Structure 1
Amino acid sequence: MPPTQMTRKACDVCYRKRIRCDGQKPRCSHCVLYKSDCTFQATSRKAAIRKQPNGTTAALQSQVQSLETSLDEAQQRIRELEERLTQKSSSQSDQSQLREYDVSYPGRDSLQLGLELPPQHEVLSGVNKFLATFNTILPLFHPQRLLSRVNTWYEQPHQRDTSTWAAINVVLSLAYRHIPDEEKPPNYSTLHFMNKAQSVLNDIMLGDSSLLDVQTIVGMVVLLQATSDLKPASALIPIALRLAHGLGLHTRSSSEHLTASETLERDRVFWIAYILDRDISMRTKLPPIQSQNDISIDWPSATPTDGAGMLYIADNSSSFNFFLSRVQLAHIQGQVYEAMLSMSPAASDVYVRLDNVARIHQLLDDWLARIPFEFSPSAITRSGNVNLQRAFGVLYSSHLTCRSVVCKAHAMEAQWIPSLQDFGRKAVEQGVVTAPRLPVGWHKLVHESREYIEVFIAIDQKDPAFIWMTACTYISAAVCLTANNLFNPWHTKSETDDQLISPAFDFLDNMILQAPLPQLKRLRHSWDELINRKPKDVQYAETAKIAAELGTGFSSFTKSWHSKPYPFISPTRPELSAAGKNVVITGGGTGIGQATGIAFAQAGAKSIAVIGRRLEHLETSVKAIQAANPSTQVLFETGDIAKFESISTAMKNIVDKLGKIDNFIANAGMLPKAGPVYGYDEAQLRQGFEINVIGVFNSLQAFLPLAAPGAKVIYVGSGIGHWAPMAEVPGVFSYAAGKAAAFKMVDYFAFENPHIHVVSIQPGIIATGINPDLSVGFDTVELPAHFMVWLASEEADFLKGKFAWANWDAQELLELAKEIKSTRLLTVTLNGVDM
């Protein structure tokens, strides 16, 4: 029997238009829509010999298959989750929150309906909700063009197409995802609209791409990344970016023929995709798709003419460019991945890693500093504005995640939680233990964790999208506070921190009830152990009385003790101006040296020269210093202080270019290997003295002939050179002996050259490249930098020939100026014998 002509399922209309036919009888939905007869008479096209797909098509098909597999797996997990949830008690009121949005994963078996939409007035209502909420901070669509498309859909049915239909469904999904069920019209769930948009996803990806298609897929990623499983979002974001690349959204030249408004919309769509790419990369620890080097478009405008991306407080007295700030944070997220999570050889180098840690902490600090106080975490907590709190709750969550990844102190960090458990067990079993090494930036992390927990708690209505995007950060912040209490149970905020930790633990329990994921259960078990093992009577081996008065284990000459800069020593205070001064800094490539260069630049120094051994560090340092003040002339010279010829040549080159030296900061040094005197390696001892003693000697020899009239020398020493040996800090005799010897040499240099103003300082307890393993008592690297700017000012002339700690309060020292200047206060002598 010959085969029948009707071997296809699509009717003639659907077949010719190449759209999916739903097979409804007597007429399918599209035939009803186009007022056509539903027939099957058209001759089928002859099947052409299939060509091998080109690279782009093959890649897209492969990504589609991968996405469909991920979506199918997600759909199956959702069905299992729903079955478990239906068995739970209805008294668990919060369960519906996570459950509703869990099922927002679209599956391949989505609704097989025609291109129908709700009535026009209902769709316009939803679109306006979207434009007034999500689109105001992340401008995915041009408002007028979106509204025009919606109206055209209803007013000119013959122009309808799947791309517009999918885009409208995505917009409605975004509009209604934060609205409680009882306030939505029937069947207006995110799942309902998302499933409809996903049903034509293959047509969108494999058809002729347009900006609208990219916007649709980016909108889908926005929805999918706010779920418990990031696989679908991870599979879809590469497709969105590939389509964007095909349209040239990442290049300036591709928009040259377009209007300014069209170019602006394209740029904004790309930057939102960029944000999603970097954010998903951070959360999944997978490499980002978009290369930074391939982007040639400008960052979003700081002052957009249409106000898109801007947020204002109630009285419009303060504004904040949320969109620009989020793009800038995404850029930092990419650098965090590259420095901390990538497998590149550079990321594994210990010195490179230390530099990267310091650099990224500074980037995060600078980003945070640009946010007006009215939008700070504390202000957002008090605002009572739910929409504002939700937006900044997600923003600050991303920032805190960056900080915790840099500190390697995230709840999902493989090694961190076990190390905390091990410490807790030893604390209980042995009583006296050494606290584990705390990462650089620990105190900032603890402070920001407190602030974030308060923001999270302040948000009463936490929709599922918000929870899945921020819950991990919230719980990590609470674990961080738990660890801080474990390390230092006497600190002044331990009780209030306990009050923040308790609801977070309950929150995790509730999440496990709703989504019993293995990783959440493991975290809960480990965290419970930490809380139960919190020592009450443990005496720690390092600075055990840290919380008594000052936050350190040391006595203070002043009543006030500082761990970070404060207004009185701010380099921007007019009285501390370094205008007209030439500043030279040894060891200026990293750490305290670099921070001091930045501080003097902020104080308006005429020139700053940094000396060091490693060229790449010097180049980085010069860029950072120059950025602090473009008016300051900044240069570097390579030089080794252990070799007189090297350091002398470097200083002469500097003076030839800049003039004689007004302020000389002798900062370079090293931390020798620790160990007892008996059995210590002589070569190690000699190496330490070569740099810490002979290096200072060579520096002073090279400096004196090049000193300007009234020049000042600040020697960055260490308190270890004058305090008695402590059991808490064993094995550091080599470093202590070197610092003591160098200080006494500087003391004699000052005595022999009264025309030179010399001061020695203890810079604080700071984790830098030479001592990255400090475990407690971190001071910020900016503290000694700002303190030295003050020491170089006329206000501090009374400290000539003295030794001071950067932690001491400068204003209180100034009040004691006459007594300090006229007595042997702040000089190193034999205790009990005034000689």
Structure 2
Amino acid sequence: MEQVSSRRKACDYCVARKAKCDARKPTCSNCTLYAVTCKTTVAIKRKAPPRESGPQPDRIAWLEERLATIESLLTVLAGRNAETQLHQNTRNPVNHVAFSGPLDTWAISPTQTPQGTTGCRPAPSTTSVSHTVSAPTSNQLDLAPLSEVLPLVDSYFRNYNTIIPLFDESAFMRMLLDFFAQTTKQSIISWAAINVVLAINYRVLEGRGSDDAALNRCLQNVRSVMSELMVQGNDLMGLQLAIVLVGSVVRLAQSLQLSSKEALEGLTDTEKSRRTHLFWISYIYDREISQRSQSPYSQLDIDTNMDLPEPDPGSNLGIIISSIDSVRFNYLRAKAQFAYIQGKVYDLLYSSKSTTLTQEQKNNMVLRIEEMLAKWVKEIPTELHTAEGIRQRLSPVAMDLMMNLWFHHAECRIKIRSIFTFDDAWVNRVRLYLSPAIIDLSDGSDGEVRRGNIPPLPSGWHECVAYGRVCLDLLLKKRPTEYILWLYNCSSFSCLILLIVNLIEHPDHAFITNDRQLLDNCFVVFQEMSIHLPKKPYGAMLAMARELNDKAMEQVSRKEIAEGGSCEADDFMMSPSTGWALLDDIDFH
């Protein structure tokens, strides 16, 4: 190969003859001797090929690996689609409850209110989007500046992760700083993890609506790398991210052997703690999705031998601590125990096996579940059994989590006793109170309830009413947000109906004054809720609830008059809802 250089001093003739050139000017000695023209051609230095910054994988091997990954994902998705199709053929379709951004006090857009929510069963996954999200490359991993991200991450770990220990704080902070320290070759998984933390902060801690730009951006960022999360191999990070988006996270947990105690052997205490926490969070999430969607849970109890979270961990992870006294509550352990009970509720109400049970077997299962619930409730500090006790002692985030716990507990009790608002038999029974055959209307006032013409209330009624009262009280003590509406609209309607029916059946019980005030305040909130919910079934339910409430107030007034004789004007107390109903009936001239 010809070697040329821009610094060459030999003339062309000497180069051609491979002779030594003395480079004299204007003519060298060899050119003078042979009487030839002495000239030198300056050649351009050939550009060396760029040096590779590091060893690169063989492209063919990389493409084959990528193709294998895609094929495996297609296989998984094909299996899921088949299961989904089978499920849809046997059940009514379930639509996901999704709302949009700020509107009045509820931060909800009517254009995204839930449609077709019969049975109140929102879809188990929030990963679906209306458009395709492409995976970003390493030079597209945009985030806000570190100075803006750090306060949000700090808030997440101080307020949320201490109770729901999804991430290890030290490992996460190292990952965060490493991500911002590198300008090239940034990790897509680290980027997604940061987006998950920011999204939880925006949605749960700040209560932003789902059309908030920052929240939407974070969720779309995580969705764009879902394929990478699903093939993370032995890395826990993929599961930690997917757990907030995917209803089938148990499959990932099982592939990592999180359900096996033997897999903890040889690990450090920190690693054992991380794996244990992650398993129970995925277990809890699996059972909650099962209860909300009425679909089978994935993690069978027979397939795990993991111990419950420690009762009193030294790290205080998973613990709710009172801000005014010494009350401590292991929230993560209680949620894990409750998730086990939720599985039993599914087995009783929705599993294929339940269709083969006799009525006696079902009654025995109900009693067994109620025994487990009663034992579970006893482990919760009594100071956290009332809405006021919770409000006084806990931070806003801890209060949200306790509210979630009590609502799910009440929902379990209500469902196993078949007094859920979306249970057709229960709704038909409740409507009987509006019939003259049950409550006769004579001389413009309601008569006594004819209980012989209506089925009796189920056993366990008073416990359901008591816990429903706590849930509604908690609902009123929270700032109404889209997040709260999405979580509790079904259960809260059920609790509302319970309190009204209890007033009709027991117009002289000990909590009448409190319940009347509670119901009036609830109707204000429910009226705001109904604006953002479909008229079918929520509008019809609210209208029925108002009619029932009028019947309840008539029964209470009738009982007061019967016990106290004539009702003095100074002693008479009309509820606001009754007052407004009377004003609506008055024809002003």
TM-score (norm. length: structure 1): 0.51
Contact residue 309 and residue 322 of structure 1 kept, 8 A: yes
Aligned residue type for 2:226: L
Structure 1, residues 456-497: CA drift from partner, whole Å, max 9, x if none? 2122x2332233222322221111011112223343433432
Contact residue 264 and residue 272 of structure 2 kept, 8 A: yes
Q: 1:59 maps to what in 2?
A: 76
From the superposition, tell whether residues 511 and 62 of structure 1 become closer, same or farther in structure 2 (CA, over 3 Å): farther
Q: 2:230 maps to what in 1?
A: 205
Q: Identify the match of residue 241 of structure 2 among 213, 216, 227.
A: 216
For 1:277, what is the secondary structure of its paired residue? helix
From the superposition, tell whether residues 287 and 155 of structure 1 become closer, same or farther in structure 2 (CA, over 3 Å): same
Shift of the alpha carbon at 1:169? 0.6
From the superposition, tell whether residues 390 and 46 of structure 1 become closer, same or farther in structure 2 (CA, over 3 Å): closer
Q: 1:189 maps to what in 2?
A: 214
Q: 2:481 maps to what in 1?
A: 463
Q: What does 1:131-280 align with in structure 2 at a 5 Å threshold?
A: 131-158=157-184, 160-180=186-206, 189-206=214-231, 208=233, 210-220=235-245, 236-238=246-248, 240-280=249-289
Aligned residue type for 1:217: A
Q: What does 1:743-754 align with in structure 2 at a 5 Å threshold?
A: none
Q: What does 1:732-771 align with in structure 2 at a 5 Å threshold?
A: none
Shift of the alpha carbon at 1:145? 0.9
Q: 1:450 maps to what in 2?
A: 469
Q: What does 1:593-672 align with in structure 2 at a 5 Å threshold?
A: none
Q: Identify the match of residue 526 of structure 1 among 544, 550, 556.
A: 544
Q: How far apart in 2 are the matches of 1:523 and 1:499?
A: 20
Shift of the alpha carbon at 1:510? 1.9
Q: 1:19 maps to what in 2?
A: none
Q: Identify the match of residue 472 of structure 1 among 490, 504, 523.
A: 490
Contact residue 60 and residue 205 of structure 1 kept, 8 A: no
Q: How far apart in 2 are the matches of 1:535 and 1:287?
A: 42
Structure 1, residues 654-685: CA drift from partner, whole Å, max 9, x if none? xxxxxxxxxxxxxxxxxxxxxxxxxxxxxxxx
For 2:554, what is the secondary structure of its paired residue? coil
The answer to whether 1:293 aligns with 2:272 is no
For 1:96, what is the secondary structure of its paired residue? coil
Q: How far apart in 1 are the matches of 2:65 and 2:471?
A: 60
Contact residue 453 and residue 477 of structure 1 kept, 8 A: yes
Shift of the alpha carbon at 1:440? 1.6
Shift of the alpha carbon at 1:455? 1.8
Q: How far apart in 1 are the matches of 2:377 and 2:158?
A: 26
Q: How far apart in 1 are the matches of 2:81 and 2:143?
A: 26
Q: How far apart in 1 are the matches of 2:256 and 2:173?
A: 23
Q: 2:132 maps to what in 1?
A: 109
For 2:312, what is the secondary structure of its paired residue? coil
Aligned residue type for 1:164: S
Q: Identify the match of residue 93 of structure 1 among 79, 104, 118.
A: 104
Structure 1, residues 765-816: CA drift from partner, whole Å, max 9, x if none? xxxxxxxxxxxxxxxxxxxxxxxxxxxxxxxxxxxxxxxxxxxxxxxxxxxx
For 1:415, what is the secondary structure of its paired residue? helix
Contact residue 113 and residue 534 of structure 2 kept, 8 A: no
Q: 2:581 maps to what in 1?
A: none
Structure 1, residues 693-719: CA drift from partner, whole Å, max 9, x if none? xxxxxxxxxxxxxxxxxxxxxxxxxxx
Q: How far apart in 2 are the matches of 1:263 and 1:62?
A: 32
Q: 2:40 maps to what in 1?
A: none
Q: How far apart in 2 are the matches of 1:475 and 1:424?
A: 18
Aligned residue type for 1:496: N
Shift of the alpha carbon at 1:300? 0.4
Q: How far apart in 1 are the matches of 2:362 and 2:552?
A: 32
Contact residue 275 and residue 326 of structure 1 kept, 8 A: yes
Q: How far apart in 2 are the matches of 1:448 and 1:100?
A: 33
Q: What does 1:183-582 align with in structure 2 at a 5 Å threshold?
A: 189-206=214-231, 208=233, 210-220=235-245, 236-238=246-248, 240-345=249-354, 348-377=357-386, 378-383=388-393, 385-425=395-435, 426-429=437-440, 432-434=450-452, 435-459=454-478, 461-516=479-534, 518-534=536-552, 536=554
Q: What does 1:639-718 align with in structure 2 at a 5 Å threshold?
A: none
Shift of the alpha carbon at 1:188? 6.7
For 2:142, what is the secondary structure of its paired residue? coil
Q: How far apart in 1 are the matches of 2:409 and 2:262?
A: 32
Contact residue 438 and residue 451 of structure 2 kept, 8 A: yes
From the superposition, tell whether residues 524 and 76 of structure 1 become closer, same or farther in structure 2 (CA, over 3 Å): closer
Aligned residue type for 1:448: Y
From the superposition, tell whether residues 243 and 180 of structure 1 become closer, same or farther in structure 2 (CA, over 3 Å): closer
Aligned residue type for 1:252: K
Structure (1 or 2) with the larger CA radius of gyration: 2
Structure 1, residues 513-569: CA drift from partner, whole Å, max 9, x if none? 1232633234224323433444836999xxx99x979xxxxxxxxxxxxxxxxxxxx
From the superposition, tell whether residues 361 and 66 of structure 1 become closer, same or farther in structure 2 (CA, over 3 Å): closer
For 1:437, what is the secondary structure of its paired residue? coil
Q: How far apart in 1 are the matches of 2:367 and 2:171?
A: 45
For 1:258, what is the secondary structure of its paired residue? coil
Shift of the alpha carbon at 1:210? 2.3
What is the identity percentage for the equivalent residue pairs of Structure 1 and Structure 2? Answer: 23
Q: What does 1:23-102 align with in structure 2 at a 5 Å threshold?
A: 58-63=75-80, 93-96=104-107
Structure 2 gaps of 5+ residues are: 1-51, 54-58, 115-125, 442-446, 565-589
Shift of the alpha carbon at 1:197? 0.8
Q: How far apart in 2 are the matches of 1:164 and 1:524?
A: 46
Q: 1:711 maps to what in 2?
A: none
Structure 1, residues 18-42: CA drift from partner, whole Å, max 9, x if none? xxxxxxxxxxxxxxxxx99xxxxx9
Q: How far apart in 2 are the matches of 1:344 and 1:316?
A: 47
For 2:244, what is the secondary structure of its paired residue? helix
Contact residue 137 and residue 322 of structure 1 kept, 8 A: yes
Structure 1, residues 230-282: CA drift from partner, whole Å, max 9, x if none? xxxxxx211x1111111101111222232221121011111111111111211
Structure 1 gaps of 5+ residues are: 1-34, 37-41, 221-235, 550-835
Structure 1, residues 743-775: CA drift from partner, whole Å, max 9, x if none? xxxxxxxxxxxxxxxxxxxxxxxxxxxxxxxxx
Q: How far apart in 1 are the matches of 2:64 and 2:108?
A: 50
Q: How far apart in 2 are the matches of 1:187 and 1:326?
A: 30
From the superposition, tell whether residues 311 and 59 of structure 1 become closer, same or farther in structure 2 (CA, over 3 Å): same
TM-score (norm. length: structure 2): 0.71
From the superposition, tell whether residues 249 and 98 of structure 1 become closer, same or farther in structure 2 (CA, over 3 Å): farther
For 1:153, what is the secondary structure of its paired residue? helix
Shift of the alpha carbon at 1:363? 1.3
Aligned residue type for 2:75: A
Aligned residue type for 1:394: N
Q: How far apart in 2 are the matches of 1:102 and 1:290?
A: 32
Contact residue 196 and residue 218 of structure 2 kept, 8 A: yes
Q: How far apart in 1 are the matches of 2:314 and 2:66?
A: 54
Shift of the alpha carbon at 1:129? 1.2
Contact residue 74 and residue 105 of structure 1 kept, 8 A: no
Q: 1:782 maps to what in 2?
A: none
Aligned residue type for 1:520: Y
